[in-house]
Amino acid sequence: MRFSRRRRVTRHPVWLTAPLALVVGVAFLSFALAFPRTAFLLSLAALAALLASRGRRGLRGLLRWRGSEPVYAALVCALLSGGALAGQQFISGGHEGTVTVTRVVDGDTIEVAPPVDGIRTVRLIGVDAPETDHPRCGEQPYGREAANFAAGRLEGERVELEFDVERVDRYGRLLAYVRTEDGELFNETLVREGYAQVATFPPNVRYESLFLMHQREARGAERGLWGLSEEELALQTDRGNGIGGEC
């Protein structure tokens, strides 16, 4: 008579697997909030790898995976929920909700509360206003006017931050489009009113064509900084718009 040898199944105690499951889930969700695109792709890849590891059993085999059910269940839930969260942010354009503008640093940089991902400073995407404290040239022409305009429109106001592909620049600032409570895209307003020139840094190019259209109109009407003298325009930052170069 032959006796079949049953495979020994290792089961981990719940008191050990439950905290581990919680840590894994929270860690991945936090990562998804900070890096939605990466988390979304990682979730898809990890889920595909888990399914592939079960061979022909596929999803049914994964759900019947015995031995460490709480850990695997938590892992799958974390991947799916994190992927859903990241996918929602990626598809919707990364709308982060509303914050309050606590300070306007200059025409294209603000500080907000509460901080997002631990960061308070926000650099507006796609635009470049004249500096009020340039490291080499000091205050650029029309820099004070741009800063005062931004302060008058944004300081103390509730705004919505909209993210593009990259959320943080090399200086540790958030990169965002800023929408006021009435739906105004403030980045667009800065260009349209001549308080900033277009400054495109791929891959954040969602509104590039819109900004360029408004810049052509503002330039043709000599609105804002476009009404400055040639000498003053030469002191602007060179962003590929045919001005600047001296700073």
Q: What is the pLDDT of residue 137?
A: 77
Residues 6+ apart with CB under 8 A from 223: 193, 194, 217
Q: Is the pLDDT of residue 6 over 60?
A: no
Name the residue ranges covered by the structural domains of the chain. Answer: 14-92, 95-234
State pTM to two decimals. 0.64
| pLDDT 10s digits, 87-102 | 555 544 455 679 999 9
Length of the chain: 247
Specify the CATH architecture of the domain 95-234. Answer: Beta Barrel (2.40)
Cα(209)–Cα(148) distance, integer angstroms: 26
Enumerate the active-site residues. Answer: 123, 131, 173
The mean pLDDT of 55-74, rounded to a whole number, is 54
Long-range contacts of 10-14 (CB under 8 A, 24+ apart): 10/67, 10/68, 11/67, 11/68, 12/67, 12/68, 12/70, 12/71, 14/70
Rounded to whole angstroms, the maximal C-alpha distance in the chain is: 102
**How far apart are the C-alpha atoms of 219 and 194, rounded to whole Å?**
8
Q: What is d(CA 81, CA 64) in angstroms, rounded to the nearest whole number? A: 20
Provide the pLDDT for residue 223: 98
Please tell me the distance from the alpha carbon of residue 246 to that of residue 139, in angstroms, as a whole number. Answer: 13
pLDDT at residue 119, rounded to an integer = 95
What is the mean pLDDT of the segment spanning 206-227? 98
Report, in angstroms and rounded to the nearest whole number, the Rg of the chain calculated over CA atoms.
25
What's the pLDDT score for residue 92? 46
Quick one: pLDDT at residue 203?
Answer: 95
Average pLDDT, the chain: 82
Kindly report, residue by residue over 131-143, the tens digit of the pLDDT: 998 777 789 999 9
- The helix/strand/coil state of 164 is coil
